Structure 1
Amino acid sequence: MDEIALIKLNLQFFADEKTEKATPKKRDETRKKGQVPKSTDVNTSIMMLVVFLFLWMYGGSIIVSMFADMQREIFTNYLVEEVTPESVARLFLTVSTQALTAVLPLMLLAAIAGSFGSFIQVGAMFSTEPLKAKLNKLDPIKGFKRIFSARALVELSKSVLKISLVGTTVVIIIWTHLEEVMLLSQKSITDAMGVIGWLTIMMGLAVAILLMILSIPDYIYQRYDHEKQIRMSKKDIKDEHKNIEGDPRIKSKRKQKQMELAMQRMMQEIPNADVVITNPTHFAIVLKYDESKAEAPFVVAKGMDFSAQRIKKRAQEHGIPMVENRMLARALYHQTDIGQQVPADLFKAVAEVLAYVYRLKEKQSVGQNHRT
C-alpha cells in the first residue's frame, strides 16, 4: 500500500470514529426509540422506600384486619360446612379475594412510585419501540459480544457490590436484634408476627436507603454510558446536516435558478423604467417614478459587475437614459432593494437626475417635432 492510500485510509478511519457529541436531532431520535439514560436502582429504591414506609404506618392494621375477617369467615361459615370440592373452592376464592383487597393498594402505590422514579429521570415519555421484536437480538455472535463486553462487566461488578452491601446490611440488622429473634419461639403467634414484621420493615427501609445512595453514582454512570453510545462521527454530523439543509450542490443550483428568475423579471421591467444610474462600470440601478404606484421613485432593477453590464445593455436596447453618478449609484445599491422606494436622504439627488432626464426627453421630443 503506497503512502497516499495509507493517508486516505487514516483519514477515513478518523472520519468514521465516533468522537463528537450527539446533535439535538440525534438525541430526539434516540429518545423516541426509548433509549434514555436511566438507572433501575432509582426506581427500585423509591418503590421499596414507599412500600415499606406504608407498611410501617399501616401494615399492622391491614394484617390484623385481614386475619380478623378471614378468621371470622372461616369460623362462622366454613368450619361447620362439609369438606367438598365446592366448599374448598369457595374458601380459596374468599381467602384470595380478601388477600387481594389487602394487597391491591400496596401494588398501586408501588406502581405509582416506580412511575415517579422513571419520571424524575427521563421526564414524560411514551414509546413502544423497545417492545418491538428485533431479530438481530437473536444473533448468537452479537449476544456473545454483549455478554463479554465492558458494559456487561460493569453491570456484573455493580450487581456483586449491591448484593454484598445488601447482604451485609441485613446481617447487621439481624445480628443487632439476635436476642429478639432467638426468643421468637417463646412468644405468642401475634407477638412473633409483630417482631418479624418490624424486623422486615427495618431491613426493607435500610436496603431502600442503601439502594438510593448507590443509585446516584449508577445514574451518573448511565448518563455517561448513554452519551458514549450516542456519539457521532464527523461524517455522521455532515450527513445529518445534509439531510436537514439539503445537499449543498442542490442548494447552489436552486439558488442559481432563483437568481436567474429574478434577473429575468428585472429585465422585463427595464423597458418601462425612467433612468439607469451607473457607477459607471460596477453598479447599475434602474429607477421609475409612477405617481399611481408610489409617492417616490422606486427601484425596478439593480446589479453589480456582470449583472450591471446586462442591465445597461438592456437599457440601451430600449433607449432608457443612463446617468453616471458614482456616489448615488453606490448609495442606492447598498440602501435599497428591488421594489423599494428611494430613501428620503437621497430624494434630492434622485430628483435632480430625474429632472435632467425629463428635460433631455423633452428636448428629444421637440427635436423630433422640428424634423417632422
Structure 2
Amino acid sequence: MTVNAYYLPLQFFAAENEGKTEKATSKKREDARKKGQVAKSTELNTAVIIIGFCALMVLFGGYMLETIELNLARSIRVIPDVLSRNDNQYLLILLSEAIVNIVITCIPLWMGLFIMAFGISYVQVGYKPTFEPLQPKFSKMNPLTGIKKIISKDMLVTLVLALGKVTLLGTIIFNVIKSQIPIFLNFYDFTPAQVLINICSTIIRIGFFAGGAFTILAVVDYLYQKYKYEDSIKMTKQEVKEEYKNAEGDPQIKGKIRQKMREGSLKRMMQSVPQADVIITNPTHFAIAIQYEPNKNTAPIVVAKGVDYVAQKIKEKAKEHHIHIVENKPLARTLYYTVDIDKEIPQELYGAIAEVLALVYSLEDKKANRRRK
C-alpha cells in the first residue's frame, strides 16, 4: 500500500513565545515602550473619531453650513464683476479669501477631532514619542515572517473584526435609510436647504449608531491587543535572571566583594585587639575586647568582638599579647548583641565592666609586685 506524505511547515504555527512563562519586568516594559511596542487598539481610535465627528457636527454644523452658504453667495455675486474686469489677479484674491474663510470655518471641527484623537491615544499608551518603529528593518522583508503573519491568530482576529464592522455598518445603514425612505419620497416638497438638512441629519444618525457599534468592537479589540502585548513581552526564567544580574550585579561577584570587605574588617579589628585591657568571653562562643583610656574616653569601648571562629581568633591574639581573658557569660552575650565596635558601653553596664576591670588591674598590680620582688 502506498502512502502519500505531504510536508506541512508546522513551524509557522509554533508559538513565538515558547518557553516565556514569566511576566515582564518594569525594565522589559520600558524597553518595549522605547521600541514602540504598546497595547493600542486602532478600532478604539476609529470609534471615538466617528462619534466625535458626529457630535461636533451637531454642535457646529449649523454655524459651518451658514458660514459656507454666505461665502458661496458672496462668491456668486462677484462673478459678473470678475468677468467684466478680466483680471486674473483679482480672481486669485477672491479665491484665496474664500479658501481662507472655509478653513477658518472648519477650524473648530479640525481642532476637536485632533484633541479627541490625541486624547484617546494618550489614554491608551500615554505620551512618550519614539521614532524607532519608523526605522527600516530588513527582517520585515523576510517572506517567512510575512507568511507567519498571514497564518496566525492575529490575522484571524483581524478578519473577524473586519467582518463584524462590515456587517454592523451595513445593517445600520440599511435600517436607518429604510426608516428615512418616507421622508426621502417627499423631497420634492422640500426646499434645497431642507433636503440638505435631512441628508446631513441622516448621515449623523448613521454615524452615531456606527460609532456605538464600533465602540463595542473596539473594546473587544483593545482587550485582545492588551492580552497580545502582555504575551509578547513575557520573559524566560533565564532572561529574568540575566536582567537581575545586569541591574543588581553578578551575585558571585557581589559575594566576593562582601567577603573581601569582611576580611578587611576582620584584619582591622584584629589589629585593635593588642590595645585591649581585657577580653570577656562566655567562654566558647563569644569574645569581646574592651579598652579603657580614662584620659581619652568617658567610658570603656568595644574595640573587637566576634562569635565562634572570630571569637577564637580574638582569644588567640589576646594570648599572644598577654591580655587577660575573663569568663562572664551574661556580660559577653549582652555586649555582643548591644554594643557595636568602637562604641562606648551603655551606662547600665558600667558596674559589671568596672568589676571586670578592677579584677584585671588587681591582677596586673600583683604581677608587677612579683616582678619588683
Counterpart position of 1:4: none
Q: What whole-Å deviation, never above 9, does each CA across 1:289-347 have from its counterpart, x for those lacking one?
A: 23465433222111222222222222222222211222322222223322233244433
In structure 2, distance between residues paired with 1:133 and 1:338: 62
Counterpart position of 1:315: 318
Q: 2:161 aligned with 1:161, yes or no? A: no
Give the superposition deviation at 1:126.
3.3
Counterpart position of 1:12: none
What value does the CA root-mean-square deviation take over the aligned residues? 2.4
| Structure 1 pair 290–123 and aligned structure 2 pair: CA distance change class (3 A) | farther
In the TM superposition, what are the counterparts of 1:17-32 in structure 2 within 5 Å?
17-32=19-34
Counterpart position of 1:360: 363
Counterpart position of 1:59: 61
Residue identity opposite 2:47 in structure 1: S
Counterpart position of 2:9: none
Structure 2 unpaired stretches of 5+: 1-16
Aligned residues: 355
Q: 2:299 aligned with 1:296, yes or no? A: yes
Q: Is the 8 A contact 1:315 1:321 kept in 2?
A: yes
Structure 1 unpaired stretches of 5+: 1-14
In structure 1, distance between residues paired with 2:326 and 2:265: 24
Give the superposition deviation at 1:123.
3.3
In structure 2, distance between residues paired with 1:177 and 1:183: 10
Q: Is the 8 A contact 2:82 2:91 kept in 1?
A: no
In the TM superposition, what are the counterparts of 1:1-372 in structure 2 within 5 Å?
17-76=19-78, 78-82=79-83, 86=89, 89-184=92-187, 187-291=190-294, 294-368=297-371, 370-371=372-373
In structure 1, distance between residues paired with 2:118 and 2:234: 28
| Structure 1 pair 326–16 and aligned structure 2 pair: CA distance change class (3 A) | farther
| Structure 1 pair 316–18 and aligned structure 2 pair: CA distance change class (3 A) | same
| Structure 1 pair 72–293 and aligned structure 2 pair: CA distance change class (3 A) | farther
Q: Is the 8 A contact 1:16 1:235 kept in 2?
A: no
Q: What whole-Å deviation, never above 9, does each CA across 1:155-182 have from its counterpart, x for those lacking one?
A: 2211221221122112211111112234
TM-score, length-scaled by structure 2? 0.87
Residue identity opposite 1:321 in structure 2: H
Residue identity opposite 1:160 in structure 2: L
In structure 2, distance between residues paired with 1:336 and 1:73: 96
TM-score, length-scaled by structure 1? 0.87
Give the superposition deviation at 1:187.
3.2
Residue identity opposite 2:196 in structure 1: M
In structure 2, distance between residues paired with 1:169 and 1:272: 96
| Structure 1 pair 89–251 and aligned structure 2 pair: CA distance change class (3 A) | same
